[in-house]
Amino acid sequence: MANDNYVRALVSGRGLPLREDDVDTDRIIPARYMKGVSFEGLGEYVFRDARFDESGKPKSHPFNDPRFAGASVLIVNRNFGCGSSREHAPQALARAGIAAIAGESFAEIFAGNCVSLGLPAVSVSAEGAKELQGMVEADPSLRIEMDLEAKELRAGSRRFPISMPETHRKALVTGLWDSTAELLPGLAAARALAAGLPYLAWARARS
């Protein structure tokens, strides 16, 4: 089942610092830009309201900053991705070129959605996140390597320990993050379990 194309053991690129706690998914992708039956084109609207004013004029924002154009490792702070379960949020980030995220902590549904897309979202210490942001601001060309096998993030001469739920890490390094592929072999067992659930018996009686 493992597919080498799905392995996300090592992700590297330049950094994009986004200094703010509690960044919610409405900020990442406002609901009014989610009107569509696919995720196509969402990258254009990432942080839309924070990046542009009412008249569409660009505001100062890391995603608008030419120094960080083409950067793929987003560096955030505490409780990133809180709020709505919308997968549109990590989809928009991925479609805007983000391949990995490092920060102090992540809201759980968001972190789970990231794994579903093969997008590593790893925790570093609060100080580590701030230090990394400072390093990237000082040198936008800095190459960052996120190594999920060694559980560390390397930037210049610095090494930062990283953590994430072990099951997420395992899914990413082995290429098993396609959860439907992982779950399908268990479908027969799921049917057997369902046959024994008391409430499904009375649900059948009502249908």
Partner 1 sequence: MSANLFDKVWDLHRVGKLPSGRDQLFIGLHLVHEVTSPQAFAMLAERSLPVAFPERTFATSDHIIPTDDQSRPFKDPQAEAMMAALESNAASSRIALFGRSSGRQGIVHVIGPELGLTQPGMTIACGDSHTSTHGALGAIAFGVGTSQVRDLLATQTLAMDRPKVRRISVRGALGKGVGAKDLILFILSRLGVEGGIGYAYEYAGSAVRALGMEARMTLCNMSIEGGARAGYVSPDETTFEYVRGRPFAPAGGDWDRALAFWRSIASGDDASFDDEVELDASEVEPMVTWGTNPGQGIRVSERMPRLSELPSERRAGARAAYAHMGFSEGEPIAGKKISVAFIGSCTNGRISDLREAAAVAKGRRVAAGVRALVVPGSMQVAAQAREEGLDLVFKEAGFDFRLAGCSMCLAMNPDKLEGNQLCASSSNRNFIGRQGSALGRTLLMSPAMVAAAAVSGEVVDSRSF
Nearer to partner 1, 149 or 199 (CB): 199
How many CB atoms within 10 Å of residue 114? 27
Q: How far apart (Å, rounded) are the C-alpha atoms in residues 98 and 73?
A: 6
Nearer to partner 1, 25 or 72 (CB): 25
Nearest approach in angstroms of CB 14 to partner 1 is: 25
Nearest approach in angstroms of CB 172 to partner 1 is: 9
Nearer to partner 1, 31 or 69 (CB): 31
Q: How far apart (Å, rounded) are the C-alpha atoms in residues 93 and 136?
A: 19
Nearer to partner 1, 72 or 113 (CB): 113
For residue 106, the number of C-alpha atoms closer than 13 Å in the C-beta half-sphere is 27
User: 132: which 2 tokens?
Assistant: 């990394």
Nearest approach in angstroms of CB 103 to partner 1 is: 12
Do the Cβ atoms of 132 and 15 come closer than 8 Å?
Answer: yes
Nearer to partner 1, 55 or 141 (CB): 55
The residues near 187 (Cβ < 8 Å, ≥ 6 apart) are none
Nearest approach in angstroms of CB 75 to partner 1 is: 16
Q: Are strands 158-161 and 152-155 parallel, antiparallel or unpaired?
A: antiparallel
Nearer to partner 1, 44 or 143 (CB): 44
Q: How far apart (Å, rounded) are the C-alpha atoms in residues 65 and 72?
A: 13
Q: How far apart (Å, rounded) are the C-alpha atoms in residues 162 and 105?
A: 11
Nearest approach in angstroms of CB 100 to partner 1 is: 18
Nearest approach in angstroms of CB 150 to partner 1 is: 19
126-141 in b/e burial notation, b at 16+ Cβ within 10 A? eebbbbbbebbbeebe
User: 34: which 2 tokens?
Assistant: 């989610």
